[in-house]
Amino acid sequence: MTKPADLTPRPLNPAPPAPEFPWPNGKKSALFIGFDVDAETAWMGNRPENADRMVTTSHGGYDARVGTAKILTLLNDLGLRATFFIPGWTVEAHTAMCESIVAAGHEIGHHGYLHKCPDPTKPDEARDEIDRGMAALRARLGVTPVGYRAPSGENFAALLAYLQEQGLRYSSSFRDDIRPYRHRLPDGRPGPVEIPVNYAFDDWNFGMTSRVDPRPIFGRDAILPIWDEEFQGMHDWGGVTTMVLHPQVSGRPMRWRILRDFLAGVAARDDVWIATGAEITAHFEACETSARVAGAERDTG
Amino acid sequence: MTKPADLTPRPLNPAPPAPEFPWPNGKKSALFIGFDVDAETAWMGNRPENADRMVTTSHGGYDARVGTAKILTLLNDLGLRATFFIPGWTVEAHTAMCESIVAAGHEIGHHGYLHKCPDPTKPDEARDEIDRGMAALRARLGVTPVGYRAPSGENFAALLAYLQEQGLRYSSSFRDDIRPYRHRLPDGRPGPVEIPVNYAFDDWNFGMTSRVDPRPIFGRDAILPIWDEEFQGMHDWGGVTTMVLHPQVSGRPMRWRILRDFLAGVAARDDVWIATGAEITAHFEACETSARVAGAERDTG
Amino acid sequence: MTKPADLTPRPLNPAPPAPEFPWPNGKKSALFIGFDVDAETAWMGNRPENADRMVTTSHGGYDARVGTAKILTLLNDLGLRATFFIPGWTVEAHTAMCESIVAAGHEIGHHGYLHKCPDPTKPDEARDEIDRGMAALRARLGVTPVGYRAPSGENFAALLAYLQEQGLRYSSSFRDDIRPYRHRLPDGRPGPVEIPVNYAFDDWNFGMTSRVDPRPIFGRDAILPIWDEEFQGMHDWGGVTTMVLHPQVSGRPMRWRILRDFLAGVAARDDVWIATGAEITAHFEACETSARVAGAERDTG
Amino acid sequence: MTKPADLTPRPLNPAPPAPEFPWPNGKKSALFIGFDVDAETAWMGNRPENADRMVTTSHGGYDARVGTAKILTLLNDLGLRATFFIPGWTVEAHTAMCESIVAAGHEIGHHGYLHKCPDPTKPDEARDEIDRGMAALRARLGVTPVGYRAPSGENFAALLAYLQEQGLRYSSSFRDDIRPYRHRLPDGRPGPVEIPVNYAFDDWNFGMTSRVDPRPIFGRDAILPIWDEEFQGMHDWGGVTTMVLHPQVSGRPMRWRILRDFLAGVAARDDVWIATGAEITAHFEACETSARVAGAERDTG
């Protein structure tokens, strides 16, 4: 049971805004390439009745049959490392696919177990998702993740505390900042680092449509200018551009090419730090320790 | 309690159409730059259960952490003053952010308390939103607003009368005209001035998408031509171009740049009056007093 | 009461496909410029609870305050005549606006009374809409319309028969052909002529968004190429391009300009017959009489 | 009755990924031009109450009156053969139209009877759709189809087995691969061949909007670059580009031209095998028999 929503005026995210700190080696901004390898869980985690609908879940099946391999090839061609957030169910259902990601040297992040949207009214379920996802990553891949991206992009205070307890050092789900910051837990203690996402880089917004969720889809001329300018703007501001990609979208032929061209453009620059979530977190933590993180004035209302 | 909807044929807005009157200094049209600084209220005012959903509300948290400061920088760089409509809850939750808006010399407008959509079946709630919003602006910012923009863009006759009673001299919510006009209250007395909005300048239409409200998003090539041509058309007609912007949208990197380029284009012209809502209202009122407002023929059915 | 849906296989529209017949004066295709002057009825005809929501209905209020006058100016500038389908409620609520349309020499068509979507399960309501709409047009404008466009674009067999009984010689609502054809009533008798619409020319698809119906909106670069090419394709096929415009959309500054440029382009051609619905119907009827209408082979299943 | 969804981790499609095999004559990829000739069933198969709504179903009526004939002309002009998936109801309601497709030498595929979305909780209904659809194709057209495309694009394991039993050698509905593969039935036996579809080539995504399903629509500049680049990407990967077209969409004037230009572009190449579903299936089967299909490593979790 949870108590009714507390509408008392205060920042609903109690964490102070992102502090100032330098990126490594004089870089002006960071690019965090994140993939959510949901596979079928994107379609039946929150809607279990879809598990028997083979075409609906076949969108997710593309991950294991085609998409992830194509993405790995792309990253290899460009010499880039990324972070792959994988639900425990996907690890168990498609172990060989997940092993290939590990083998290619990419970071593996936690993405729940069945991709259930964290629900503040069901804290036990949310914790169970963490436990089972962690167990699957350890048992099948021998990986203990340090990063977490919320399935369906949702989170709540008690879950942040639980992430911290379980050793997850960073989260990458929030939409409220342009640079990493440290969460503050309900009891005032520091929580995980947040590497906030940029929803303009969620490929689902442009390239997924289905019977159960019809949406318009867009091509290169609509997407690449958005990505290029959003990146340039973020770069000018010294932030982190956090991508929310999915092999079942960006592993499709045209979308793979659009992603390739965007990434190649950034990779060709010498003023951008392309890093995994773990690397960004480690850098942030090191800055905190060495006091290179400037105290940010809190907006306390 | 309210009575059932009255479907008697008559203009549902009893106010006469906008009268003819000149813009100051021979300008041909006006630009009214309005921001709604909803912060988290955009996400939980009408859906309080979202208050515990930290990622959903993090869209709104961007206002206080990043967006508003970026917008203030932009306006300062261009030497422009704007009107910021702020819900009372936001003033109380993010007082420092709001103080920075005041300190930069911009107008503060009323935007309800918890951003509840005015509901004609709940007039007491709607009045309470006005009272509490007014109290918050006065207590925390020392500001008594003269302008009001309806949260969620809705209004009804009894609320217009109440706005008038509470000293609000203008509203900026209606979609039915291209120039300011004076509302007529149910009893026939004059109501507040209306500075009608142009929904093509609501950045939410182009740049916001979320788990709870998935929508397509668009970039520069889709937006700037719309804004430029809509503005030019309105200019040709001698109207007011009223923008409905949000720091949580236009304070994002790419959108900030699109807004910058649009505003810079208008600011470079010498035939446009860029003014706050209060200034436009004062001008309209002065024209009324000096009889420069020509009587407009009423469409009385 | 109506009987359950009849799913027996047969063309659900029993009318034969459009016959072959020549356009007048050797023209290769026809352009039918139709406006639906819904005013507030678009927002509260099917949702009466919106009648008290002044901003929602203010979209419709734009018709009477600004939009229709702008459209009349545009048509006058281009020397074009069009057909305006007006609900009875709108005629009674905004009589002066409607009189100005009549005075400008345009055709007035029937568009229901309160813009209620014709519902096959409520035939009495649908007939009442016809009766009251007809009465309003006669009483207030002295007009007896010959054409009908279904509010919300819906129709059913019994309503087609009733249109015929009431002297309405044509309908312009169906999406199933590219040239006019004659309806067949349930009892096999001929019904009204249909001038089928082209939904690519419904401006609502591109230019309307609201709190109660959020939709993406588009500008010149998205719309004008669609209209130009759709028109050219229809012209090549010798059909009729039937527009479904609304002053509350196309009477907005940018959209007015887009419409102007499209219409000017067609008007500059010498191979297109720009005609009202009544003119097209009269021509079709004359061709029928003179046997210039070739018998079309029926697809009888 | 069916049992509750089985969430056990395993690929929800038990078929191994598409094997490697060569396209005929050294071609690098294949193009499968598929049309769904739903006619009215698209609008009332899943919503029988729409059967009385003549404008809603008139979208589908366009197939028989105009669209299919236009598509046949286009294919004839380009010298291309395609596959037309037709529901049994449509065959019975519009027999002459369907006969014209057969007469033009195109392949006829199975598309259910009333276009009911296959529902795993209603297996009897799904089987009945197969039986009645098959009977209609045989009785009215003298055709025994070898291919099946799921109405509303859905499928489930028991239905795949039933397709196999009924002699359907291929399905073209799944979204999970880029090359043909063979289904595996629940009991482990081989099922039909799957020719997976590419939803970027579903014209409904770009060109259909209606009262009951309002959606944005797009023109040439948005569509053709998507199709061209998606095709080129698929070609580079050696896959099959499977189109999901509808005469009620692509038979409209502008969309017909866009489709024409796309198809003409592919037809002008000498490295693409343009083939029907039956031809692709026969080729795949021949490769299997001749052992030219390389065993693909299965992702077994």
- What's the pLDDT at D300? 39
pLDDT digits 0-9 by tens, B143-161: 999 999 999 999 999 999 9
Whether residue B161 lies inside any domain: the answer is yes
Contact yes or no for A13 and B58 at CB 8 A = yes
ipTM of the complex: 0.95
Nearest to A31 by CA among A75, A86, A87, A69: A75
- For residue C94 the two structure tokens come to 């905004």
d(C-alpha A241, C-alpha A280), whole Å: 12
- Quickly list DSSP for chain B: --PPP---SS-SS-SPPPPP-PPGGG-SEEEE-EEE--TTHHHHSS-GGGGG-HHHHHHHHHIIIIIHHHHHHHHHHHT---EEEE-HHHHHHSHHHHHHHHHTT-EEEE--SS-PPP-TT-HHHHHHHHHHHHHHHHHHH----SEE--GGG---HHHHHHHHHTT--EE----S-SS-EEEE-TTS-EEEEE----GGGBTHHHH--BTTB------HHHHHHHHHHHHHHHHHTT-EEE-BB-HHHHTSHHHHHHHHHHHHHHHT-SSEEEE-HHHHHHHHHHHHHTT-SPPPPP---
- What's the pLDDT at A4? 74
pLDDT band, residue B28 (cuts 50/70/90) = very high
pLDDT band, residue B267 (cuts 50/70/90) = very high
Nearest to C87 by CA among C45, C139, C32: C45
**DSSP E strand boundaries for chain D:** 29-32, 34-36, 83-86, 107-110, 147-148, 170-171, 181-184, 190-194, 240-242, 272-275
- What's the pLDDT at D133? 98
Length of chain B: 301
**Which positions in chain A touch B95 (Cβ < 8 Å)?**
299-301
Q: Does pLDDT of C162 surpass 60?
A: yes
- Is C205 within 8 Å of chain B by CB? no
pLDDT band, residue D294 (cuts 50/70/90) = low
d(C-alpha C240, C-alpha D248), whole Å: 17
Whether residue D2 lies inside any domain: the answer is no
Average pLDDT over residues D95-108: 98
Residue with tokens 């389908």: C85
| CA dihedral for A101, A106, A112, A117, sign (positive or negative) | negative
- Taking phi over 0 as left and psi of -120 to 50 as alpha, with beta for the rest, A289 belongs to alpha
Q: How far out from the chain centre does Cα D49 lie?
A: 26
Domains held by chain A: number: 1
| CA dihedral for B191, B193, B198, B202, sign (positive or negative) | negative
**3-class secondary structure, C99:** helix
- What's the pLDDT at A296? 44
Mean pLDDT (chain A, rounded): 95
Contact yes or no for D220 and C225 at CB 8 A = yes
Contact yes or no for D299 and A64 at CB 8 A = yes
Q: What are phi and psi of D7, to 5 degrees?
A: -100, 10
d(C-alpha A124, C-alpha A64), whole Å: 30
Q: Does pLDDT of B299 surpass 60?
A: no
d(C-alpha A122, C-alpha D189), whole Å: 42
Q: Does pLDDT of A295 surpass 70?
A: no
Q: Which of B58, B93, B96 sits opposite A175 (nearest CB)?
A: B58
- What's the pLDDT at C1? 45
d(C-alpha C248, C-alpha C231), whole Å: 23
B vs C, Cβ pairs < 8 A, gives 154
- What's the pLDDT at C299? 40
Whether residue D279 lies inside any domain: the answer is yes
141-170 of B, contacting C, C-beta below 8 A: 150, 152-157, 160
Q: Does pLDDT of A299 surpass 50?
A: no
Residue type, C300: T
- Is A92 within 8 Å of chain D by CB? yes
Q: Does pLDDT of C249 surpass 80?
A: yes
Quote the DSSP letter at residue D298.
Answer: P
- Sheet arrangement for strand D170-171: D34-36, D83-86, D107-110, D147-148, D170-171, D190-194, D181-184
105-124 of A, contacting B, C-beta below 8 A: 117, 120-121
Q: Does pLDDT of B1 surpass 70?
A: no
Is residue A115 within 8 Å of residue A92, measured between CB atoms? no
- What's the pLDDT at B296? 44
Nearest to B212 by CA among A156, A153, A38, A197: A153
E strand or H helix that includes residue A35: strand A34-36
Which chain B residue shows the shortest CA-CA distance from C98?
B301
Largest CA distance in chain B: 54
Nearest to D254 by CA among D279, D212, D292, D222: D222
Identify which has the larger pLDDT, C296 or D198: D198
12-51 of C, contacting D, C-beta below 8 A: 12-13, 17-18
Residue type, B86: I
Whether residue B12 lies inside any domain: the answer is no
- For residue A297 the two structure tokens come to 């004035």
Quote the DSSP letter at residue D167.
Answer: T
Which chain D residue shows the shortest CA-CA distance from C199?
D209
pLDDT band, residue D32 (cuts 50/70/90) = very high
Length of chain A: 301
- What's the pLDDT at B297? 40
Whether residue A3 lies inside any domain: the answer is no
d(C-alpha A231, C-alpha A220), whole Å: 16
d(C-alpha A152, C-alpha A41), whole Å: 11
- Percentage of the residues of chain C whose pLDDT score is greater than 90: 94
pLDDT digits 0-9 by tens, C45-63: 999 999 999 999 999 999 9
Cα distances from A102 to residues A37, A77, A143, C20, in angstroms, run 13, 17, 9, 67
- Percentage of the residues of chain D whose pLDDT score is greater than 70: 96
Whether residue D9 lies inside any domain: the answer is no
Query: Which residue segment(s) compose the domain that A211 sits in?
Result: 27-300
Q: Does pLDDT of D56 surpass 80?
A: yes
Q: Does pLDDT of C294 surpass 90?
A: no
- CB-based contacts of C164, cutoff 8 Å, min separation 6: C183, C185, C189, C191, C192
Q: Does pLDDT of B203 surpass 80?
A: yes
Whether residue B20 lies inside any domain: the answer is no
Q: Burial, A46: exposed, middle or buried (Cβ in 10 Å; 0-12, 13-18, 19+)?
A: middle
- What's the pLDDT at B2? 52
Residue type, C32: F
Which chain D residue shows the shortest CA-CA distance from A48?
D5
Q: How far apart are the first and last CA of chain D?
A: 29
Whether residue B4 lies inside any domain: the answer is no
- CB-based contacts of A146, cutoff 8 Å, min separation 6: A109, A167, A168, A169, A170, A277, A278, A281
pLDDT band, residue D252 (cuts 50/70/90) = very high
pLDDT digits 0-9 by tens, D114-134: 999 999 999 999 999 999 999
**Which positions in chain D touch C163 (Cβ < 8 Å)?**
none
- CB-based contacts of D270, cutoff 8 Å, min separation 6: none
Mean pLDDT (chain D, rounded): 95
pLDDT band, residue B301 (cuts 50/70/90) = very low
227-246 of B, contacting C, C-beta below 8 A: 229-234, 236-237, 239
Does the model's pTM come out above 0.90?
yes
Q: What are phi and psi of B230, to 5 degrees?
A: -60, -40
pLDDT digits 0-9 by tens, A236-245: 999 999 999 9
Nearest to D181 by CA among D296, D273, D30, D85: D296
- For residue B138 the two structure tokens come to 């006065």
Interface probe with A: pick from D1, D3, D10, D12, most Cβ of A within 10 Å: D12
Mean pLDDT (chain B, rounded): 95
Cα distances from B143 to residues A209, B99, B138, C144, C226, in angstroms, run 48, 10, 5, 58, 50
Is residue B158 within 8 Å of residue B20, measured between CB atoms? no
- Percentage of the residues of chain B whose pLDDT score is greater than 90: 94
- Is A92 within 8 Å of chain B by CB? no
- For residue C159 the two structure tokens come to 């309503």
Strand partners, B189: none
Question: Which domain CATH number covers D254?
Answer: 3.20.20.370
pLDDT band, residue B86 (cuts 50/70/90) = very high
**Which positions in chain C touch B229 (Cβ < 8 Å)?**
219-220, 253-254, 257
- What's the pLDDT at C291? 74
pLDDT band, residue D216 (cuts 50/70/90) = very high
Contact yes or no for A17 and B64 at CB 8 A = yes
Pairing of strands A83-86, B83-86: unpaired
- Percentage of the residues of chain B whose pLDDT score is greater than 70: 96
